[in-house]
């Protein structure tokens, strides 16, 4: 068995089921090993950013390590933006980077690069394999790190991939059971019982079903408020679940909302800060008079910590959230705008859907409208690096083949990983993409107005305008093998979305705003 086969066998034995890849010469032994070692399905992406986003979506939905395979430093470099999003989402991503043969690196060949330094920007764990004997243990260590939500990158020189080892030992991946911080639980319970105005700020798995239910129990017992972090990695939402508002993106609004609380308890969320530093602004969204506690220092066990907290405050059993018979939004009529597009999606999205939201400024009211929607999963843009939606949808669809995936997608962001459509068609994935075609970087316009306190001039506006020339999303989509249509009214969108959701395989709808 050679080093490449050892790596795949170690990964498969640990539960890895899929590898998103755009390989090159230094990965050819691994490419060959996919035919020899069963259990891991390779999925080809035309761009490494698509592969990284797909791994993020897969890991968010399954909680299992999603494997990527990239070609040297430039391949990793192409993936960095979506690996950044995955790191912010604490997704269990396991990156394998094929490197030059160890004896060839000193030659400074054209593709030679400092892969370890680049990896450190998006991975909490990085290691260069130093011998074929170390491949299995290094792989197991990487997977164990990935399961902690830090992102792990293993760099494997090509000569250690092709070298043979008879009867190799396959290292197991050990995982520790989830634990809670008893001191954090006790501290939070005391704070909640003091009767001051308290907030539970939820993130991570506190936004899954069990976490939401336990948070609602705590709220019912002590009267504290519940709030979600601004961009959740994976949130369960809809009928039967507690309706939790999101922390606003605009810092002034977030500061105003948070200032109402004397005590803030972080459950799976980090201490909130502004997305950007503005002139005359502040980094912190909280103030020095507030007490801020972390419920548990360990990542990935916020739901368990909330369960313990509920018991500590003698909370009653969960009694349900939004009523199962709660009404859905009324379908709007007439020429489309962002609000109407959001209403149509909220009204028609089916039970058990996965909504990947990279709609940026086009999601006017969407989150609010979905409090009474059929239950669904929401994946948001955690790290702010655009180009996540189309690729993340691939991973979500492969992770949950029995669930419809809807990508609510801004047009400017879609251009970053447009090659995702090809993989959607190739794999026959049940993904409906709604392209919000407002033909501009609207978020940049809004940020410009905030930063400069004026409207952009001709030259500045040219850097935000996507309408010259107009992008024909229907032709682009069809060129990648995905059926597509364009709509101009709410009625047309409702008809097209209904039709797309009734079909199997990918579809794209250009939503002209």
What average pLDDT does range 342-346 have in this prediction? 97
Q: Is the pLDDT of residue 264 over 90?
A: yes
The pLDDT, as a whole number, for residue 446 is 85
Alpha-carbon distance 409 to 359, whole Å?
4
With residue 346 as reference, give the H or E element that holds it. Answer: helix 338-348
With residue 379 as reference, give the H or E element that holds it. Answer: strand 376-380
Closest by CA position to 220, among listed 317, 291, 139: 317
What average pLDDT does range 98-111 have in this prediction? 96
Q: Per-residue confidence at 46, pLDDT binned at 50, 70, 90?
A: very high
Provide the residue ranges of all domains of the chain, joining segments of one domain with +.
Answer: 3-162, 182-312, 338-512
Quick one: 105 exposed, middle or buried, by C-beta within 10 A (0-12, 13-18, 19+)?
A: middle
The pLDDT, as a whole number, for residue 318 is 81
- 464-500 pLDDT, tens digit per residue, is 999 999 999 999 999 999 999 999 999 999 999 999 9
The pLDDT, as a whole number, for residue 119 is 98
Alpha-carbon distance 214 to 375, whole Å?
18
**In sequence order, what are the residues at sequence separation of 6 or more whose Cβ sits closer than 8 angstroms to the Cβ of residue 423?**
43, 44, 45, 46, 50, 54, 394, 429
Q: What is the DSSP string of 207-233?
A: GSHHHHHHHHHHHHHH--EEEE-SS-S
Say if strands 235-237 and 376-380 run parallel, antiparallel, or are unpaired.
Answer: antiparallel
Cβ distance 242 to 268 under 8 Å? no
Q: Per-residue confidence at 456, pLDDT binned at 50, 70, 90?
A: confident
Q: Cα dist. 384→82, 110, 235, 286, 360 in Å?
A: 9, 32, 17, 21, 10
- 355-373 pLDDT, tens digit per residue, is 999 999 998 899 999 999 9
Alpha-carbon distance 47 to 416, whole Å?
10
400 three-state secondary structure: coil
Quick one: 174 exposed, middle or buried, by C-beta within 10 A (0-12, 13-18, 19+)?
A: exposed
469 three-state secondary structure: coil
Of the candidate CATH numbers 3.40.50.970, 3.30.830.10, 3.10.20.90, 3.80.30.20, the domain formed by 338-512 belongs to 3.40.50.970
pTM (two decimals): 0.96
Tokens (6 digits) for 54:
């797909």
Q: Do domains 3-162 and 182-312 have the same CATH topology?
A: yes
Q: Which CATH architecture has domain 182-312?
A: 3-Layer(aba) Sandwich (3.40)
The CATH number given to 3-162 is 3.40.50.970
């Amino acid at each position: 068995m050679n080093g490449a086969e050892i790596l795949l066998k170690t990964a498969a034995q640990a539960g890895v089921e899929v590898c998103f890849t755009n390989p090159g010469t230094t990965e050819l032994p691994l490419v060959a090993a996919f035919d020899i070692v069963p259990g891991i399905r390779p999925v080809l992406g035309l761009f490494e950013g698509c592969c990284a986003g797909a791994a993020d979506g897969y890991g968010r939905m399954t909680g299992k390590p999603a494997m990527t395979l990239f070609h040297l430093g430039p391949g990793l470099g192409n993936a960095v933006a979506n690996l950044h999003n995955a790191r912010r989402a604490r997704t269990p991503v396991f990156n394998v980077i094929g490197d030059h043969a160890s004896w060839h690196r000193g030659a400074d060949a054209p593709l030679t690069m400092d892969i370890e330094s680049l990896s450190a920007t998006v991975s909490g764990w990085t290691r260069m394999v130093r011998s074929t004997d170390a491949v299995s243990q290094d792989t197991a260590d990487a997977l164990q790190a990935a399961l902690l939500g830090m992102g792990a990158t293993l760099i494997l020189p090509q000569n250690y991939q092709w070298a043979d080892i008879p009867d190799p030992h396959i290292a197991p991946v050990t995982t520790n059971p989830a634990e809670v911080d008893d001191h954090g639980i006790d501290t939070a319970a005391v704070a909640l019982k003091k009767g001051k105005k308290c907030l539970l700020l939820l993130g991570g798995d506190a936004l899954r079903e069990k976490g939401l239910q336990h948070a609602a129990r705590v709220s019912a017992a002590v009267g504290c408020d519940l709030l979600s972090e601004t961009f959740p990695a994976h949130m369960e939402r809809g009928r039967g679940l507690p309706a939790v508002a999101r922390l606003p993106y605009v810092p002034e609004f977030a500061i105003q909302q948070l200032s109402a609380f004397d005590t803030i308890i972080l459950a799976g969320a980090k201490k909130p800060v502004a997305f950007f530093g503005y002139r005359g602004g502040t980094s912190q969204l909280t103030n020095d008079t507030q007490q801020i506690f972390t419920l548990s220092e360990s990542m990935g066990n916020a739901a368990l910590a909330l369960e313990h907290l509920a018991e500590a405050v003698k909370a009653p059993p969960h009694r349900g959230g939004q009523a199962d018979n709660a009404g859905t939004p009324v379908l709007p009529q007439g020429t489309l705008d962002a609000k109407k597009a959001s209403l149509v999606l909220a009204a028609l999205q089916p039970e058990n859907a996965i909504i990947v939201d990279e709609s940026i400024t086009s999601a006017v009211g969407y989150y609010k409208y979905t409090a009474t929607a059929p239950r669904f999963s929401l994946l948001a843009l955690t790290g702010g690096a655009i180009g996540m939606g189309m690729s993340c949808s691939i991973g979500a669809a492969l992770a949950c083949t029995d669930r419809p995936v809807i990508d609510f997608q801004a047009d400017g962001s879609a251009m970053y990983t447009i090659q995702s459509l090809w993989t959607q068609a190739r794999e026959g994935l049940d993904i409906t993409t709604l392209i919000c075609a407002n033909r501009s970087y609207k978020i940049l316009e809004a940020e410009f107005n905030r930063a400069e306190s004026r409207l952009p001039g001709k030259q500045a506006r040219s850097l935000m305008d996507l309408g010259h020339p107009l992008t024909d999303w229907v032709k682009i989509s069809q060129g990648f093998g995905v059926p597509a249509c364009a709509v101009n009214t709410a009625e047309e969108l409702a008809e097209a979305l209904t039709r797309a959701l009734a079909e199997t395989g990918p579809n794209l709808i250009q939503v002209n705003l």
